[in-house]
Structure 1
């Protein structure tokens, strides 16, 4: 069956994080290939760039949870009836047998109510797991204050009683309530295809009862900031790229770089900016930067740090840095860290341990030969852990085609096995793609 329309569904229409950036990237490239595309979003839909490309934007007009009153956030976050009606109305008016619905993000605005609206077309839905909100109440399978990986089965007694939220146990109980509602409207035991961005996500998703057969590993697309290897052995600066928020750990990077006696450049913005400027006047904070500007800053860097306080399922910035030849020091809970260390392209650390973090920085900062070896290894690894944008779009369209083909035949049809066998599943992707 021909794809009539691709409906990209995401809370936000302006790129403020990796998941939204990927949702927008897919919409732009689908449209460039001639597909009819609708971007169905929970916010105001103020994205002139998408509209200029001919992408239809169907916007609910709501703000993120933290922008709403406490009562409004509590109620709409659990089940946003307006979002349900918005999506259901669009589907009733526009759905065709060849329409595909790809969900990227729903936890900030659209809420579990999204899945109730999608129920009439669930056999043509594809889900991206940029995080763990499909399975875990706090979306991370981690104790967010300590960073310790959670051992519990989601929604078990151990899970419900665990004080894993970074704010309060009351907030955790609210998240448990939301997960209970999600489990009523999203049948995880018979889930639509879930696209996991790293193979390590699989056992965590399965712990919640999602069958392994529903999970397919699809690495993110990532383009290096520079085509040539950055000669890091000539540089001194440590680079951080990301939101200046507690979860991303820019304050941990600042403390470690001060202890190591090396300069730190931060690219990004967020709620921690004022505190960082006050407490660490020596660091350079560049704010949001376009890709070309990031490349210029990266050329001055010795290494990149990714000190997230919770497990990062992928870490797009790490892939971009590695491909450019920057060694990466990442939190030891990040899923890419094992790949980075195995390739000799960087180090894993507990970022809350300032002394250990600073020691890792000095290990690379004070040894030019080590820095060069890691840089050369980084370039090779960058080509293996990420897809090119074109290859990523090809894979998505292939997955959509399989989804539509499955609608036309009964479950268990012999061609199901052939379709599954034709899908690449390895987390490592050849650099030529």
Structure 2
């Protein structure tokens, strides 16, 4: 899925480019690595979009897909290495449990490709690894780790359940990953057995990934940095690079004329869609869900009034949002960035975001929307009721978001410029003394 290029400036101080000197080397090639080749979430959208942006900037790329790849990978020249792995939720439970701990087959294929094709100025950029590739991918990348860039789209790099969230206790987790308190807490949303499996995977990751020597770890929001450091990522390896955003609509959605509340994303428990459905029922507001996931059957059974629309193409979504009043991001866990939030706000849609989201204070402080606790059903419903009734407030948020929301993120053009600066810095440090 390509990201269109625009030339709108970014004003947020956190996004200022700081990097290597002007003569820093540029990459011969960037190898973009991701679990899957089909965009069903923000991380994969960014990974696939980076291919088009880098190619447009004159940098050759190779896409390494943990799954079977294919035309959905979106590589303009078809330069794709498909490792043929299975998603953790597909197929045999025992087989996937083993390959999820260490996918030796995928690692061997990637290692062979690196041995045959690597150059001193090839940069490797790993986006997602926890669904197919497993910690084994870090083993394959050890020979080139000084030229390896890791994007922390979530917390799986440091936290066993990937969210720094106690699903059983319904609270944000402040424990040290793999410490005694972490290992003895049943925080996993599935079971304690699954927590033990994930902790084992995290221990393997620590053995095979030397985060002291990687080129860079990119936090998609500045607020992630303390939690990455708490999990063992050296501070000097971390760079904040917010995701690139393209608004869903160039023209402002006249949200004040509409009544439909919208959720866009994976329909999973951690995303809090069930909490939103309950609050929407109490508030008496219409709700539509764009996306798919394991929570769909339960949602259909318990909240039949919610319209489940499945995934939409960008063109279909651009039409649908002109019937929406607001977009809600009700995640249970601390959402690291929230690509959907900025895409929506920049299109003129007011936001209701979980108070634990990294971007919540900026959204509320900029007047682009409201922050709420989705676990407080009555309070959450009251926020939806208030937005449904206040046309003037919705209109103000809509106009402000359309004019100012892009200050919270990079445009594709500014993002790829900053990314190339980081690549240059990584190559500069990787040069032999």
Could you state the TM-score of these two structures normalised by the residue count of structure 2?
A: 0.91
* Cα contact 2:26–2:423 (8 A) shared by 1: no
SS across alignment from 1:65: coil
Partner of 1:9: 33
Q: Distance in 1 between matches of 2:203 and 2:107?
A: 17
Q: Distance in 2 between matches of 1:217 and 1:368?
A: 36
Structure 1 residue corresponding to 2:320, chosen from 289, 293, 297: 297
Partner of 1:349: 372
* Cα contact 1:239–1:266 (8 A) shared by 2: yes
261-270 or 370-379: which moved more? 370-379
189-198 or 306-315: which moved more? 189-198
Partner of 1:137: 160
* Cα contact 2:38–2:72 (8 A) shared by 1: no
Partner of 2:406: 383
For residues 222-267 of structure 1, give each alpha carbon's deviation from its aligned partner in whole angstroms, at most 9, with x where no partner exists: 1111222222111111111112222222222211111111111111
Partner of 1:422: none
Gaps of 5+ in 1: 411-433
1:388: Cα distance to partner? 0.9
* Cα contact 1:14–1:47 (8 A) shared by 2: no
* Cα contact 2:48–2:73 (8 A) shared by 1: no
* Cα contact 2:215–2:426 (8 A) shared by 1: no
SS across alignment from 1:121: helix
Q: Distance in 2 between matches of 1:55 and 1:214?
A: 32
Q: Distance in 1 between matches of 2:328 and 2:120?
A: 46
Number of equivalences: 409
* Cα contact 1:27–1:55 (8 A) shared by 2: no
Partner of 2:17: none
SS across alignment from 1:188: coil
Q: Distance in 2 between matches of 1:312 and 1:48?
A: 27
Q: For the structure 1 residues 220 and 147, does the alpha-carbon distance in structure 2 shift closer, same or farther, using more than 3 Å as the test?
A: farther
1:178-217 superposed matches below 5 A: 178-217=201-240
* Cα contact 2:219–2:241 (8 A) shared by 1: yes
For residues 155-184 of structure 1, give each alpha carbon's deviation from its aligned partner in whole angstroms, at most 9, with x where no partner exists: 110111111100111111111111111111
Q: Distance in 1 between matches of 2:106 and 2:346?
A: 39
* Cα contact 1:141–1:150 (8 A) shared by 2: yes
1:283: Cα distance to partner? 2.2
Partner of 1:419: none
Partner of 1:278: 301
1:14-413 superposed matches below 5 A: 14-47=38-71, 50-51=74-75, 53-408=76-431, 410=433
SS across alignment from 1:325: coil
Partner of 1:415: none
SS across alignment from 2:123: strand
SS across alignment from 1:100: strand
Q: Distance in 1 between matches of 2:322 and 2:405?
A: 16
223-232 or 170-179: which moved more? 223-232
1:123: Cα distance to partner? 1.1
* Cα contact 2:29–2:123 (8 A) shared by 1: yes
SS across alignment from 1:384: helix
Gaps of 5+ in 2: 1-24
Could you state the TM-score of these two structures normalised by the residue count of structure 1?
A: 0.91
6-15 or 69-78: which moved more? 69-78
1:186: Cα distance to partner? 1.0
* Cα contact 2:149–2:214 (8 A) shared by 1: no
1:363: Cα distance to partner? 1.1
For residues 53-76 of structure 1, give each alpha carbon's deviation from its aligned partner in whole angstroms, at most 9, with x where no partner exists: 114111111110111312112211
Q: Distance in 2 between matches of 1:150 and 1:252?
A: 20
Q: For the structure 1 residues 145 and 17, does the alpha-carbon distance in structure 2 shift closer, same or farther, using more than 3 Å as the test?
A: farther
Q: Distance in 2 between matches of 1:381 and 1:318?
A: 13
222-231 or 27-36: which moved more? 27-36
Structure ranking higher on relative contact order (CA contacts 8 Å, 6+ apart): 2
Q: Distance in 2 between matches of 1:174 and 1:48?
A: 31
Q: Distance in 2 between matches of 1:50 and 1:345?
A: 33
* Cα contact 2:168–2:186 (8 A) shared by 1: no
* Cα contact 1:14–1:46 (8 A) shared by 2: no
